[in-house]
């Protein structure tokens, strides 16, 4: 826990410069998911990406609709097709630990996702490693994996030793006690060298605005109390 706390503090202190782009090699989870509209940070051959997507339209169907400002913010309104126990959007994360030749597999880094539970102008984060936290899952592949061609597996398995790409699509409704209504939610993804959890190698972050826009967070104070809850995060495949 002490190491995780150090990594969380470093994650929130970092101010990585991200850009809008496709992720490498493609979207490997689910089916009919378009690439693009990711907020990406690339450091040498390490690539981290985040985006948000409309999960439920008025008919309850997912769409390749991102409402992206081209910088770091995604905006949605509530729809008639959103179930009461789900958020209207999914956030989607992508990790490629070696865009060059795939020889540096996912276990070359430690990863941390920070997910904001405060729908207001402030932030209240819970944290987890998306490829190592038991009770979660991800889709795995390499630089040759085609769209929708990933292998889904539980986090914490041998896949991080075998693959260099991991992705997933996560609804706030999958997360115990997460807010589902209007607000602004910040999400941060960072990677650290295993021996240095004080200095992230790469960091990307997004804001998701649902409903009437509120001021964007000015800072990232954090909490660790939600860590235990992520151990019970229900398994969901991307889409």
Q: Would residue 45 count as lying in a domain? A: yes
Write out pLDDT tens, residues 138-165: 999 999 999 999 999 999 899 999 999 9
Q: What is the pLDDT of residue 36?
A: 98
Mean pLDDT for the stretch of residues 119-127:
94
Q: Would residue 237 count as lying in a domain? A: no
Mean pLDDT for the stretch of residues 66-94:
98
Q: Using CA atoms, how far apart are residues 153 and 136, in angstroms rounded to an integer?
A: 9
Q: Hey, how many other C-beta atoms are within 10 angstroms of the C-beta on 234?
A: 11
Instruction: Compute the 3-state secondary structure of the chain and give helix, strand, coil in percent, each to the nearest 5.
Output: 10, 35, 55
From the list 56, 98, 89, the residue with the least C-alpha distance to 175 is: 89
Q: Would residue 90 count as lying in a domain? A: yes
Q: What is the mean pLDDT of the chain?
A: 87
Q: Would residue 7 count as lying in a domain? A: yes
Q: What is the pLDDT of residue 18?
A: 58
Residues 6 or more apart whose CB falls under 8 angstroms from that of 35 comprise 22, 23, 26, 27, 147
Q: What is the pLDDT of residue 214?
A: 57
Q: Would residue 236 count as lying in a domain? A: no
Q: Would residue 41 count as lying in a domain? A: yes
- CA triple 211-35-21, angle to 5 deg: 85
Q: Would residue 238 count as lying in a domain? A: no
Using a pLDDT cut of 90, give the percent of the chain over it.
78
When pLDDT is cut at 50, 70 and 90, the band that residue 212 belongs to is: confident
Going by the DSSP 8-state scheme, the letter that residue 216 receives in this structure is P
If one counts the domains in the chain, the total is: 1
From the list 239, 200, 231, the residue with the least C-alpha distance to 128 is: 231
Q: What is the pLDDT of residue 149?
A: 99
Q: What is the pLDDT of residue 60?
A: 99
Whether the pLDDT of residue 169 is over 90: the answer is yes
Containing structural domain, residue 73: 2-230
Whether the pLDDT of residue 217 is over 90: the answer is no
Whether the pLDDT of residue 107 is over 60: the answer is yes
Rg (CA), the chain: 16
Q: Would residue 235 count as lying in a domain? A: no
Q: What is the pLDDT of residue 134?
A: 76
Mean pLDDT for the stretch of residues 195-222:
79
Contact 141, 25 (CB under 8 A): yes
Q: What is the pLDDT of residue 222?
A: 42
Whether the pLDDT of residue 234 is over 60: the answer is no
Q: What is the pLDDT of residue 142?
A: 99
* Structure tokens that stand for 44 in this block: 């040498």
Q: What is the pLDDT of residue 213?
A: 59
pTM, entire model: 0.86
Q: Kindly tell me the burial class for residue 80, based on how many C-beta atoms sit within 10 Å of its own C-beta (0-12, 13-18, 19 or more).
A: exposed
Contact 231, 199 (CB under 8 A): no
Mean pLDDT for the stretch of residues 24-45:
98
When pLDDT is cut at 50, 70 and 90, the band that residue 20 belongs to is: confident
Q: What is the pLDDT of residue 219?
A: 45
């Amino acid at each position: 826990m002490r190491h995780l706390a150090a990594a969380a503090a470093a994650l929130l202190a970092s101010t990585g410069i991200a850009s809008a782009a496709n992720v490498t090699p493609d979207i490997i989870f689910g089916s009919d998911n378009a690439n693009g509209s990711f907020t990406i940070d690339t450091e040498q051959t390490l690539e981290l990406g985040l985006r948000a997507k409309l999960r439920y339209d008025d008919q309850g169907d997912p769409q390749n609709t991102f409402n992206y400002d081209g910088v770091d913010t995604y905006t949605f309104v509530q729809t008639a097709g959103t179930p009461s126990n789900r958020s209207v959007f999914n956030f989607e994360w992508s990790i490629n630990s070696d865009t060059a030749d795939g020889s540096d597999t996912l276990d070359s880094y430690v990863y941390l996702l920070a997910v904001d539970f405060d729908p207001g102008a402030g932030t209240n984060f819970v944290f987890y490693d998306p490829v190592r936290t038991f009770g979660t899952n991800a889709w795995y592949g390499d630089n040759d994996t085609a769209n929708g061609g990933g292998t889904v597996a539980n986090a914490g398995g041998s896949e991080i030793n075998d693959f260099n790409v991991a992705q997933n699509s996560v609804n706030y409704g999958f997360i115990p006690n997460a807010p589902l209504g209007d607000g602004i939610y910040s999400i941060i993804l960072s990677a650290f060298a295993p021996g240095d959890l004080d200095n992230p190698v790469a960091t990307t972050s997004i804001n998701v605005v649902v409903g009437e826009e509120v001021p964007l967070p000015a800072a990232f104070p954090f909490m660790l109390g939600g860590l235990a809850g992520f151990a019970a995060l229900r398994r969901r495949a991307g889409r």
